[in-house]
Structure 1
Amino acid sequence: MCLIAFAWQTHPRWRLVLVGNRDEFHARQSAPLARWSDAPLIGGRDLEAGGTWLGATDDGRCCVVTNVRDPRDPQQGVSRGLLTTDYLRSDMGAAMHAKSLLQTAADYRPFNLLTFDASDAFYLGNRPAPKAQMVTPGVHGLSNADFNTPWPKTRALIGHLQAWLASTLDDGDFALLFTALADEHRAPDEALPDTGVGLERERWLSSAFIRGEHYGTRASTVVAMGHDGRGVMIERRFGPNGRFEGETALGFGGA
C-alpha cells in the first residue's frame, strides 16, 4: 500500500477500520482479493514476489505494508511483501511478532508495516534503523514515510475517516470511504514534502488516487474487523489511467 488511514479500538462495532490505496506499476502482475489456496488468509497477491500488500485471517489478524519513498535508499534486500504473509501464515500475535521481526528487519527492503490481532496493534519499520511501536487507540495514518507523518494526503484521508466514524455507528456502508480513496485533489506546492523525486512528481503523488498510464492506484481497499471477530474486506481494482477493473468483497473471521 502507499496510503493508509485506520481507526483502532474507536468504533462500537468495528475494532479496526482500515482504508488504503495500493499504488504500483500497472505492468506488475497481481491477483485480485481472494482466499488463498496455499495459506489461511485472504488478500490480493503480488505474482512477481508471491506476497501481499494487505491481508487478513479468520483468527482476527490483519497486516499491511508500504514502501519508503527515498530514491537515495537502494531497494535491496528481501521482498517486503513477504512480511505480511510471514505474519499471517504464522500463529504469532502482534506483540510476539514485533519482538521477533526486530531481529531481522534490516534484511528487508525499506518498509513500514502495520500488524493487528484481537487485542494489539503495532507499527514496525526499518529506516533508518529497525523499530517497533505499539499503536494506541485512535485514528492514525501512514504513507511512504514514518508512522503518522503528516503528509497532506495522509491528513486528508484521516479527516475523511474521522468524519465517517462520527456519522455512523454500526452499519456496513463504506461508500464515503471509497469516495475519499478516489480523491484526485493535489496538494499546494507549499504543503508538499521533499522526498527527492522532484517537484512535478511530488505534485502527482500528492493525491490520494493516482491516475497514470504506466503507474498509479491499482487497488482501493476497505477492511472492517468487528469486536465479535468477524470482518469484511472490499477491494476495488483499477488499470492504466484509472480504468475500473472490478470489485471483490469477502467476509472472514469467527474462527
Structure 2
Amino acid sequence: MCLAFFAVGVHPTYKLVVATNRDEFYQRKTQDAHFWEDHPTLVGGRDLEGGGTWMGMTRSGRISLLTNYRDPLHIDPQAPTRGALVSDYLTGPEAPDAYLQRIAQNGKRYNGFNLVMGHPDQLWYYSNYKEGVDTLPPGFYGLSNHLLETPWPKVVRGKEKIKPLLLQQTLRPDDLFTALYDEHRAAKDALPDTGLTQEREEALSSMFIKAGNYGTRCSTVVLVDHDNHVRYTERVYDLSTFAYRQNDFTFTVDPAS
C-alpha cells in the first residue's frame, strides 16, 4: 500500500471511511480481496510471495493497513516481510496498542513502514521511522510513503479531493474510487527528495501511478456505518488497459466472530 486516506469519528453516517491505493511491481504475485481459506473471518488481498497483506479487515472489526516508508538507500533484502505485520494482527487476539508496542521493540528489523490498525471506533499508528505508538483522535488523515500527515503533493491533493465527499450524508464508493484514480504529477519544485532520481520521484508523485513495470494495482474503499454495517470494496486494475474488476463484500461487525 502506498497511499491511504481515512476518516475516523468525523462523518455523520460512517464511523470509519478508508480509501487506499496499493502500488506494487506488476510482476509480484497477488490474490484479489477474498475471505481467506485459512482465516475465514478475514477479508483482504494477499501477497502470494510474502504471504501477508497490505490491508484487511475481519468480521470482528479488526482492521489494519500498511504503507512502505520510502528510503531506497536503506533497503535490506533480507528483512522480514512487512505484510505479515498486518496479517498477524488481523489473525491474532492481541489488542492493537499492545501489538504495536511489541512490534516497536524490534521495528528496525524491517524495511521502512507505516502501520495503522485498530477497529472502526479507534485507530493507532506506528512507524519504524519514528518513536512511539500514537492513539489517533477523531479526524481525517492522509498517509503515503513518509510519516502520517506528511504533506507530500499526492497527500495534499487527495485530501482536497476527498474532504468535500465527507460532507455528504451518504458516501458512494464510486466517488472515492474516482478521487483515487488521479494521474496528476507534482511540479518538479514540489517533489520530495527520498534518494530517487528526479524523474522517478515525478513518476511516483501522482495518486494513481503508472510507471513502467510499477504502479497502482488496486484500490480499496471501506465504509463502516454507526450500526457496524461494513462495505468493503476493491477495484483491481488490468495493467494493460486499466479496466477494472470489482470485488464487493458486506457484513456486520460481530465482536464475537
Q: Pick the TM interval, shorter chain.
A: over 0.9
- After superposition, give the CA deviation of every residue in 1:191-224 in whole Å (9 maximum; x if it has no partner): 1111111111111111111113411110011111
Q: 1:241 to 1:151 in 2, by over 3 A?
A: farther
* Alignment-derived partner of residue 125 in structure 1: 127
State the TM-score, normalized to the length of structure 1.
0.94
CA–CA distance in 2 between the matches of 1:228 and 1:124? 28
Note the C-alpha offset of 1:242: 5.5
Aligned partners of 1:113 and 1:123 also within 8 Å? yes
**Letter of the structure 2 residue corresponding to residue 111 of structure 1:** F
CA–CA distance in 1 between the matches of 2:190 and 2:241? 25
* Alignment-derived partner of residue 155 in structure 1: 156
Q: 1:213 to 1:243 in 2, by over 3 A?
A: farther
Note the C-alpha offset of 1:120: 2.1
Unaligned stretches of 5+ residues in structure 1: none
Aligned partners of 1:57 and 1:252 also within 8 Å? no
Aligned partners of 1:59 and 1:229 also within 8 Å? no
Note the C-alpha offset of 1:254: 2.8
Aligned partners of 1:87 and 1:97 also within 8 Å? yes
Aligned partners of 2:224 and 2:231 also within 8 Å? yes
CA–CA distance in 2 between the matches of 1:172 and 1:71? 37
Note the C-alpha offset of 1:118: 4.3
Q: 1:205 to 1:41 in 2, by over 3 A?
A: same
- After superposition, give the CA deviation of every residue in 1:3-56 in whole Å (9 maximum; x if it has no partner): 111111101221110111001011001000100111131000000011010000
CA–CA distance in 2 between the matches of 1:216 and 1:118? 29
CA–CA distance in 2 between the matches of 1:183 and 1:93? 36
User: Counterparts in 2 of 1:217-228, with a 5 A limit?
Assistant: 217-228=216-227
Aligned partners of 1:151 and 1:192 also within 8 Å? yes
2:5 matches 1:5: yes
CA–CA distance in 2 between the matches of 1:201 and 1:193? 11
* Alignment-derived partner of residue 90 in structure 1: 92
Unaligned stretches of 5+ residues in structure 2: none
2:37 matches 1:37: yes
Aligned partners of 1:219 and 1:235 also within 8 Å? yes
Q: Secondary structure at the match of 1:161?
A: helix
CA–CA distance in 2 between the matches of 1:82 and 1:5? 21
**Letter of the structure 1 residue corresponding to residue 108 of structure 2:** A
Q: Secondary structure at the match of 1:233?
A: strand
CA–CA distance in 2 between the matches of 1:3 and 1:207? 10
Note the C-alpha offset of 1:245: 3.9
* Alignment-derived partner of residue 237 in structure 1: 236
Aligned partners of 1:57 and 1:253 also within 8 Å? no
- After superposition, give the CA deviation of every residue in 1:34-92 in whole Å (9 maximum; x if it has no partner): 00111131000000011010000111121000111111112342111000001100122
CA–CA distance in 2 between the matches of 1:104 and 1:183? 36
Q: Secondary structure at the match of 1:145?
A: coil
Q: Give % identity.
A: 40
* Number of positions where the alignment pairs a residue of Structure 1 with one of Structure 2: 252
**Letter of the structure 2 residue corresponding to residue 107 of structure 1:** R
Aligned partners of 1:212 and 1:240 also within 8 Å? no
RMSD of aligned C-alpha atoms? 1.5
CA–CA distance in 1 between the matches of 2:58 and 2:192? 35
CA–CA distance in 1 between the matches of 2:75 and 2:209? 24
Q: Secondary structure at the match of 1:158?
A: helix
Aligned partners of 2:97 and 2:133 also within 8 Å? no
Aligned partners of 1:95 and 1:120 also within 8 Å? no
Structure 1 runs (4+) deviating above 4 angstroms are none
Aligned partners of 1:8 and 1:16 also within 8 Å? yes
Q: Secondary structure at the match of 2:11?
A: coil
CA–CA distance in 2 between the matches of 1:207 and 1:194? 15
State the TM-score, normalized to the length of structure 2.
0.93
CA–CA distance in 2 between the matches of 1:229 and 1:190? 44
